[in-house]
Structure 1
Protein backbone atom coordinates (compact mmCIF):
# COMPACT_ATOMS: atom_id res chain seq x y z
CA UNK A 1 0.00 0.00 0.00
CA UNK A 2 1.36 3.43 -0.89
CA UNK A 3 2.11 5.86 1.91
CA UNK A 4 -0.50 8.38 0.73
CA UNK A 5 -3.19 5.71 0.73
CA UNK A 6 -2.27 4.84 4.32
CA UNK A 7 -2.50 8.55 5.23
CA UNK A 8 -6.17 8.51 4.20
CA UNK A 9 -6.79 6.03 7.03
CA UNK A 10 -5.19 8.21 9.71
CA UNK A 11 -7.95 9.43 12.04
CA UNK A 12 -9.33 12.88 11.20
CA UNK A 13 -8.40 14.35 14.59
CA UNK A 14 -4.79 13.20 14.18
CA UNK A 15 -4.58 14.81 10.73
CA UNK A 16 -5.97 18.05 12.18
CA UNK A 17 -3.41 18.11 14.98
CA UNK A 18 -0.58 17.54 12.49
CA UNK A 19 -1.93 20.27 10.21
CA UNK A 20 -2.04 22.69 13.16
CA UNK A 21 1.60 22.05 14.04
CA UNK A 22 2.89 22.80 10.52
CA UNK A 23 0.61 25.79 9.92
CA UNK A 24 2.02 29.32 9.91
CA UNK A 25 1.13 31.66 12.77
CA UNK A 26 -1.24 33.85 10.70
CA UNK A 27 -2.97 30.71 9.41
CA UNK A 28 -3.47 29.48 12.99
CA UNK A 29 -5.13 32.77 13.93
CA UNK A 30 -7.38 32.47 10.87
CA UNK A 31 -8.32 28.82 11.55
CA UNK A 32 -9.08 28.81 15.28
CA UNK A 33 -12.68 27.82 14.66
CA UNK A 34 -11.65 24.80 12.53
CA UNK A 35 -9.07 23.24 14.87
CA UNK A 36 -8.48 22.40 18.49
CA UNK A 37 -11.56 21.71 20.55
CA UNK A 38 -14.81 20.28 19.22
CA UNK A 39 -16.81 21.53 22.23
CA UNK A 40 -18.85 24.54 21.10
CA UNK A 41 -18.64 26.26 24.50
CA UNK A 42 -14.91 25.74 25.03
CA UNK A 43 -13.76 28.63 27.25
CA UNK A 44 -10.19 28.65 25.88
CA UNK A 45 -11.40 28.70 22.28
CA UNK A 46 -13.77 31.58 23.13
CA UNK A 47 -10.92 33.49 24.78
CA UNK A 48 -8.66 32.96 21.77
CA UNK A 49 -11.39 34.13 19.41
CA UNK A 50 -11.76 37.32 21.48
CA UNK A 51 -8.00 37.86 21.37
CA UNK A 52 -8.09 37.29 17.61
CA UNK A 53 -10.68 40.06 17.20
CA UNK A 54 -8.71 42.51 19.36
CA UNK A 55 -5.28 41.81 17.94
CA UNK A 56 -3.67 44.15 15.44
CA UNK A 57 -2.09 42.76 12.30
CA UNK A 58 1.65 43.16 12.24
CA UNK A 59 2.07 43.09 16.01
CA UNK A 60 3.38 40.03 17.80
CA UNK A 61 2.94 38.79 21.32
CA UNK A 62 5.03 35.67 22.03
CA UNK A 63 2.94 34.73 25.08
CA UNK A 64 -0.32 34.76 23.12
CA UNK A 65 1.29 32.99 20.18
CA UNK A 66 2.52 30.24 22.49
CA UNK A 67 -0.92 29.95 24.08
CA UNK A 68 -2.52 29.63 20.64
CA UNK A 69 -0.02 27.00 19.49
CA UNK A 70 -0.36 24.89 22.65
CA UNK A 71 -4.15 25.00 22.51
CA UNK A 72 -4.24 23.45 19.04
CA UNK A 73 -1.20 21.22 19.31
CA UNK A 74 -2.06 19.66 22.65
CA UNK A 75 -5.63 18.77 21.74
CA UNK A 76 -6.48 15.17 22.56
CA UNK A 77 -8.53 12.90 20.37
CA UNK A 78 -11.51 10.89 21.55
CA UNK A 79 -9.98 7.56 22.51
CA UNK A 80 -12.97 5.62 21.22
CA UNK A 81 -13.73 7.01 17.75
CA UNK A 82 -10.53 8.98 17.11
CA UNK A 83 -12.65 11.38 15.04
CA UNK A 84 -12.86 14.54 17.15
CA UNK A 85 -10.41 16.36 19.38
CA UNK A 86 -10.80 18.30 22.60
CA UNK A 87 -8.47 20.70 24.38
CA UNK A 88 -8.93 18.84 27.64
CA UNK A 89 -10.94 16.43 29.71
CA UNK A 90 -13.39 19.08 30.91
CA UNK A 91 -14.48 19.97 27.38
CA UNK A 92 -14.69 16.32 26.36
CA UNK A 93 -16.90 15.50 29.36
CA UNK A 94 -19.10 18.55 28.74
CA UNK A 95 -19.59 17.61 25.08
CA UNK A 96 -20.25 13.90 25.64
CA UNK A 97 -24.05 14.13 25.18
CA UNK A 98 -23.56 15.82 21.80
CA UNK A 99 -20.75 13.53 20.69
CA UNK A 100 -22.12 10.17 21.86
CA UNK A 101 -24.11 9.27 18.71
CA UNK A 102 -21.34 10.38 16.33
CA UNK A 103 -18.81 8.51 18.45
CA UNK A 104 -20.63 5.18 18.06
CA UNK A 105 -20.97 5.72 14.31
CA UNK A 106 -17.30 6.65 13.79
CA UNK A 107 -16.08 3.86 16.10
CA UNK A 108 -17.99 1.32 13.97
CA UNK A 109 -16.43 2.75 10.78
CA UNK A 110 -12.93 2.72 12.26
CA UNK A 111 -12.96 -0.95 13.20
CA UNK A 112 -12.12 -1.94 9.61
CA UNK A 113 -9.42 0.67 8.99
CA UNK A 114 -5.78 -0.26 8.80
CA UNK A 115 -3.21 2.34 9.72
Structure 2
Protein backbone atom coordinates (compact mmCIF):
# COMPACT_ATOMS: atom_id res chain seq x y z
CA UNK A 1 0.00 0.00 0.00
CA UNK A 2 2.77 2.45 0.90
CA UNK A 3 4.68 1.64 -2.28
CA UNK A 4 1.53 2.02 -4.39
CA UNK A 5 1.05 5.52 -2.98
CA UNK A 6 4.70 6.47 -3.49
CA UNK A 7 5.39 6.85 0.22
CA UNK A 8 9.06 6.80 1.19
CA UNK A 9 9.50 4.75 4.35
CA UNK A 10 12.08 2.71 6.15
CA UNK A 11 12.80 0.73 9.26
CA UNK A 12 15.21 1.22 12.13
CA UNK A 13 16.41 -1.92 13.91
CA UNK A 14 18.52 -2.21 17.05
CA UNK A 15 20.65 -5.27 17.68
CA UNK A 16 21.79 -6.33 21.14
CA UNK A 17 18.52 -5.79 22.99
CA UNK A 18 18.05 -7.85 26.16
CA UNK A 19 15.75 -10.80 25.53
CA UNK A 20 16.58 -10.84 21.83
CA UNK A 21 19.37 -12.87 20.23
CA UNK A 22 21.14 -13.20 16.90
CA UNK A 23 18.61 -15.67 15.47
CA UNK A 24 15.69 -13.45 16.48
CA UNK A 25 17.39 -10.40 15.03
CA UNK A 26 17.93 -12.19 11.71
CA UNK A 27 14.21 -13.02 11.69
CA UNK A 28 13.47 -9.32 12.19
CA UNK A 29 15.66 -8.45 9.21
CA UNK A 30 13.88 -11.04 7.07
CA UNK A 31 10.51 -9.63 8.11
CA UNK A 32 11.60 -6.08 7.26
CA UNK A 33 12.78 -7.15 3.79
CA UNK A 34 9.28 -8.53 3.11
CA UNK A 35 8.04 -4.92 3.15
CA UNK A 36 10.66 -3.76 0.60
CA UNK A 37 11.30 -0.47 2.43
CA UNK A 38 13.21 2.39 0.87
CA UNK A 39 15.90 2.11 3.53
CA UNK A 40 16.84 0.02 6.54
CA UNK A 41 18.98 1.48 9.30
CA UNK A 42 20.55 -0.91 11.78
CA UNK A 43 22.11 0.27 15.03
CA UNK A 44 23.83 -1.37 17.98
CA UNK A 45 22.30 -1.05 21.42
CA UNK A 46 23.81 1.84 23.38
CA UNK A 47 23.85 1.43 27.15
CA UNK A 48 23.65 5.07 28.20
CA UNK A 49 24.80 5.99 31.72
CA UNK A 50 21.98 6.79 34.11
CA UNK A 51 19.36 4.76 32.24
CA UNK A 52 17.41 1.85 33.67
CA UNK A 53 19.28 -0.48 31.32
CA UNK A 54 22.65 0.74 32.63
CA UNK A 55 21.42 0.09 36.16
CA UNK A 56 20.50 -3.48 35.17
CA UNK A 57 23.86 -4.38 33.63
CA UNK A 58 24.42 -7.31 35.97
CA UNK A 59 20.93 -8.70 35.41
CA UNK A 60 21.56 -8.97 31.66
CA UNK A 61 25.31 -9.66 31.84
CA UNK A 62 25.97 -6.50 29.84
CA UNK A 63 29.45 -5.44 28.79
CA UNK A 64 29.47 -2.08 27.00
CA UNK A 65 31.92 0.61 26.01
CA UNK A 66 32.78 2.93 28.88
CA UNK A 67 32.98 5.95 26.57
CA UNK A 68 30.47 7.33 24.03
CA UNK A 69 28.70 5.93 22.12
CA UNK A 70 28.49 3.27 24.91
CA UNK A 71 27.79 0.45 22.46
CA UNK A 72 27.09 -3.07 23.66
CA UNK A 73 30.13 -5.36 23.50
CA UNK A 74 28.42 -8.54 24.71
CA UNK A 75 25.71 -9.74 27.07
CA UNK A 76 24.09 -12.88 28.36
CA UNK A 77 22.08 -13.09 25.11
CA UNK A 78 24.69 -11.73 22.67
CA UNK A 79 28.27 -12.90 22.18
CA UNK A 80 30.95 -10.49 21.01
CA UNK A 81 31.12 -12.49 17.78
CA UNK A 82 27.38 -12.06 17.17
CA UNK A 83 27.64 -8.32 17.80
CA UNK A 84 30.43 -8.18 15.21
CA UNK A 85 28.34 -10.19 12.72
CA UNK A 86 25.51 -7.69 13.16
CA UNK A 87 27.90 -4.78 12.68
CA UNK A 88 29.07 -6.33 9.40
CA UNK A 89 25.51 -7.10 8.33
CA UNK A 90 24.47 -3.51 9.06
CA UNK A 91 27.36 -2.21 6.95
CA UNK A 92 26.45 -4.54 4.07
CA UNK A 93 22.79 -3.55 4.16
CA UNK A 94 23.71 0.12 4.22
CA UNK A 95 26.16 -0.23 1.34
CA UNK A 96 24.24 -2.56 -0.93
CA UNK A 97 20.57 -2.11 -0.03
CA UNK A 98 20.29 1.51 1.05
CA UNK A 99 22.38 2.85 -1.80
CA UNK A 100 20.13 1.02 -4.26
CA UNK A 101 22.89 -0.91 -5.94
CA UNK A 102 21.49 -4.31 -5.03
CA UNK A 103 17.95 -3.77 -3.75
CA UNK A 104 16.38 -6.34 -6.07
CA UNK A 105 18.60 -9.27 -5.17
CA UNK A 106 19.97 -8.43 -1.71
CA UNK A 107 17.36 -10.37 0.32
CA UNK A 108 18.18 -13.50 -1.68
CA UNK A 109 21.81 -13.52 -0.52
CA UNK A 110 20.95 -13.30 3.16
Between structures 1 and 2, the one with greater strand share = 2
| Structure with greater proportional helix content | 1
Greater relative contact order (Cα < 8 A, sep 6+): 1
TM-score bracket for the superposition, by shorter chain length: under 0.3
State the TM-score, normalized to the length of structure 1. 0.26
TM-score (norm 2): 0.26
